[in-house]
Amino acid sequence: MSVQLIHPERVNRVDVHHQVADTRGSRTVYLAGQVSWDTEGNLIGPGDVAAQAEQAYLNVAAALDAVGATVADLAKVTVYVVDLDEAKAEQFVAGRERAAATLGVELQQPSTWIGVTSLAAPGYLVEVDAIAVLP
């Protein structure tokens, strides 16, 4: 495996992700930020952070699949949520967990969450940007 997720002993442990990804590989894959659109570009989950998080992660998985990778190869994720607050963070986690269940994986990669005022198109509430490392 090219990505090992770690909870360092001297860093606060959080339940929603690991603090460190130790990677060993020869190939790095950079994904464009994924939003909650379907293959036709239609918004999935208008007004619903959880539904949009779920679809964004499913799109991340589909993008990785296109290059022979899986979410297990993810080394770092950056999440953008419009008007991020505690309630939206909880909704985001619920959607991410639904995507994980659909994919049959854990989504615990190191992540940074950033609250923004808007995304590229009206109605989008969540965007997930990711980096993967492959052997």
- Helix 49-65 vs helix 86-103: crossing angle, to nearest 10: 40
Per-domain residue ranges of the chain: 3-134
- CB atoms < 10 A from the CB of 86, how many? 7
Write the pLDDT tens digit of every residue in 96-125: 999 999 999 989 888 999 999 999 999 999
Backbone CA torsion sign across 30, 63, 32, 107:
negative
Whole-structure pTM value: 0.88
The CATH H-level (homologous superfamily) assignment of domain 3-134 is RutC-like (3.30.1330.40)
Write the pLDDT tens digit of every residue in 73-104: 999 999 999 999 999 999 999 999 999 999 99
pLDDT band for position 24 (cuts 50, 70, 90): confident
